[in-house]
Structure 1
Amino acid sequence: MKTFEFIFAMLMLDPILSSILKTSAFLQSPNINLLTAVEIVESLKKLLVSMRNTEDDFTDIYHKTILMCKNYDIEIPQLKKRKVSTKIDCLSSTQHYMSSKEEEMKVSVYYSTLDHIISGINIRFNQETMNMIQSIGNLLVLNTFDLNSDMLKTEINLLKHTDNIPKGEKNKCGDWINWLTQSNCGRETIFCNVIKALKTFMIIPVTSCACERSFSKLSIVKTKLRSTMTQDRLDGLLTVFIEQELAYNIKIDDVIDTFKNLTPVDRRMEL
């Protein structure tokens, strides 16, 4: 472990893996949507490409490695000059040699590592994720979501010429839904197809984490002792169990008052 190569690899991978870990944790968040996921992945790709194309990051890492090796009395290896073979063969190692240890670490380790990581990210997210985002426009006009394509286009044209719409690049789908569904304004009736499209887009899962969490909760709620419960009761119990943050904010007194004001027909027992 006390070698020049190990210290260089450790200092090189620290910023790379930190960025990947941050992105990975963000993609597993239950409150993420597709647009935000694409933005964070694109940011990660740009960061890695920037590290690959500029030598400042490598120079800083290499100088830190030299300094750490000197502080801990670790030998810094030096390259021996080699003579290029006069015979032409298929081995690139015999036709070129590195002039310094710094050049060797930059070409053989630093560039090679970043190229493999960037290539892997492009393979993972190019076909599956990016094409899905590009297909959202076609997905929203399907009859599966009960949307009228002609009316949706009309509503979008009306929104373009509305003065007090949410403006700015930082507006999210939730901001638009809140604006469209404001009470006593009538927008929810006029722009019903736009609201359906936005809600459909927001609930499309980015990862399988939320589904896996729901199935893990299902095995706890629906046990052998509850094998005969109806779907409505199961939905209600799972909603409370999965969305525990919302359940903690429920005021019990308000629930009791609501139940008390129900007519005898709407409830099964007296309070």
Structure 2
Amino acid sequence: MSGAYNGVQKRVKDIQPNAEYVHCASHNLNLVINDAVRGSVEIQKFFATIPDLFNFFGNSIKRWDLLSKFTGESEITLKKLNPTRWSSRVDSITAVKLRFFDIVKALSEITLKSSSKDERSEAEIIKSKMLNFEFVFLCEFMRSVLNNINYVSKVLQKRDIVLDEATKALDGTTDKLKKYRNDFESFKSKATETAKKYNIDPTFPEKRRRKTKKHFDELASDHRFENREEWFRVTIFNDVLDIVIGQLDARFSGMSAICKSFDFLIPKNLLSWNETVLVKKCDQFHKKYCDIIGPTFSMQFLNVYHLILPQLTETWSIRQLCKEIITKFGVLECDLTEVYTAMLLFHTIPVTSAAAERSFSKLKIIKNYLRNSIRQDRLRHLSLIAIENEAASNLDLSEIIDEFAKIKARKRL
């Protein structure tokens, strides 16, 4: 899709050079999470322990029943970690954090009472990984990071999301994650409180530090951290945040650049800019899209600017601004077609393909193994009914049956 030489992006731009390419924001965000998870060996071990927990209890009805006795009828229980499902990781970590004590009790009972040596050994290994301060810290830290990213993911999955709303949500998350770099002690205090509750030593366990051999032509000496906590903060805590922040900036820079082309539509800018700056921005926009935006765009938008300015506030979104311009001032009736084209162009730039993904998911439910030989026309009609189920539920079936009977009635002359 995004190939610079043979992708769909390149083929579309060969036909229309001004066509803007925006990678699906939801999929891009999931790639950010995947890169963060693979960034450090310790993080990989942490995320490997969570599916091990689910597999250990999930592969045995007896073990799952034992865990259910401790968790009760709560909906919060172990979740399967699926890398391609956008909310999978945060749901898995949340379940482990909130059911930590219940999971440890179930593992302890298995190690004491199980008759299987392999089962006891596996339970003991998983338990030892959990009863570790680093695991508790990562539960607290990664849950906060993934919760922030998951919030943006939910926003990006909205059907009517537009470019400026997506950019604003991403910028807010990036700023919040940047502040986390100074919150190591805050995360440590939360993890310490949790560790004391479960009788876990609230210190980072010291491990033998490997000394790197210095070669004769190297100027820098081997840096040695004073303790495990300092090593953890630099190589894991800061490293994860740097990867996530860097990936958010790199992967969504194109979206920000496109949004910047339409910055004359942002209400906050309209309130702070003077006419000279506004005309300059409109002229730049006209030069970029000269094949669809006429030379009178600056003059037309300036007229709209004077009309809308008295009631304009910073809390308005671009969507609300465009709605006010169209409904109250009638850009089409007032011959402000260039302004209307610019607003239409902004709202037709796609942000995400999550709606299409939902269609594919629904298609998988419709075409199951019992309908393997279904024809294309029937599949298309069933898919339409399933996807547009709200509209289908409002249809009067009696009228449809009567109309169908009239069409199919065999009339004799």
1:115 and 2:115 matched:
no
Tell me how far apart the structure 2 counterparts of residues 250 and 195 of structure 1 sit (CA, whole Å): 34
Partner of 1:141: 289
TM-fit CA distance, 1:96 = 2.5
Residue 208 (structure 1) aligns with:
353
Flag the 1:58–1:89 CA change in 2: closer, same or farther, 3 A: farther
Distance 2:173 2:195 in 1: 30
CA deviation vs aligned residue, 1:124-178 (integer Å, no higher than 9, x gap): 112x3223323453698344xxx44223222111123226654012223332343
Q: Give, as a single letter, the amino acid of the residue that structure 2 aligns with 1:169.
A: E
Q: How many residues align?
A: 234
Q: Does 1:100 align with 2:227?
A: yes
CA contact (8 A) 1:141 1:148 kept: yes
Structure 2 letter corresponding to 1:188: L
| Residue of structure 2 aligned with 1:188, choices 327, 332, 335 | 332
Q: In structure 2, what is the equivalent of residue 45 of structure 1?
A: 174
1:61 maps to 2:61? no
User: In the alignment, does 2:321 pair up with 1:176?
Assistant: yes
* Structure 1 CA distance for aligned equivalents of residues 354 and 238 of structure 2: 33
Aligned pairs (5 A) from 1:10-21: 10-21=139-150
Query: For 1:181, what is the secondary structure of its paired residue?
Result: helix
Amino acid at match of 1:109: I
SS in structure 1 of the partner of residue 158 of structure 2: coil
2:152 match: 23
Q: Structure 1 164/121 Cα, relative in aligned 2: closer, same or farther at 3 Å?
A: closer
Are the structure 2 counterparts of residues 17 and 217 from structure 1 closer, same or farther at C-alpha, using a change threshold of 3 Å?
closer
User: Displacement of 1:67 after TM fit?
Assistant: 3.0
Query: Partner of 1:167 in structure 2?
Result: 312
TM-aligned CA distance change 1:86 to 1:68, over 3 Å? same
Deviations 1:207-229 (A, max 9, x none): 12234446777998xx64469x9
Cα distance, 1:34 vs. partner?
A: 0.4
CA-based RMSD of the aligned residues comes to 4.2
Return the letter of the residue paired with 1:34: L
For residues 26-85 of structure 1, the C-alpha deviation after alignment (integer angstroms, 9 at most, x for no partner) is: 112112100111111111111111112x2xx21011122233333323233554898x99
Identify unmatched segments of 5+ residues in structure 2.
Answer: 1-129, 263-284, 367-374, 397-413
Unaligned runs of 5+ in 1: 253-271
Residues 88 and 95 in structure 1, CA contact (< 8 A), matched pair in contact too: no
CA distance in 2, matches of 1:67, 1:80: 23
Which letter does structure 2 place at the counterpart of 1:158? N
> 2:223 is paired with a residue of what secondary structure?
coil
Is the Cα contact below 8 Å between 1:2 and 1:74 reproduced in 2? yes
- Whether the 8 Å CA contact 1:173–1:198 is kept in 2: the answer is no
Contact 1:28 1:209 in 2 (8 A): yes
Q: 1:138 to 1:27 in 2, by over 3 A?
A: farther
Question: How much does 1:194 deviate?
Answer: 1.5
Q: Which residue of 2 aligns with 1:132?
A: 258
Whole-Å separation in 2 of the counterparts to 1:166 and 1:195: 20
Query: Quick one: structure 1 residues 139 and 72, their matched pair in 2 at CA, closer, same or farther if it must change by over 3 Å?
Result: farther
Which secondary structure does the structure 1 equivalent of 2:257 belong to?
Answer: helix
SS in 2 for 1:168: coil
Partner of 1:264: none
Task: Determine the structure 2 residue equivalent to 1:4.
Answer: 133
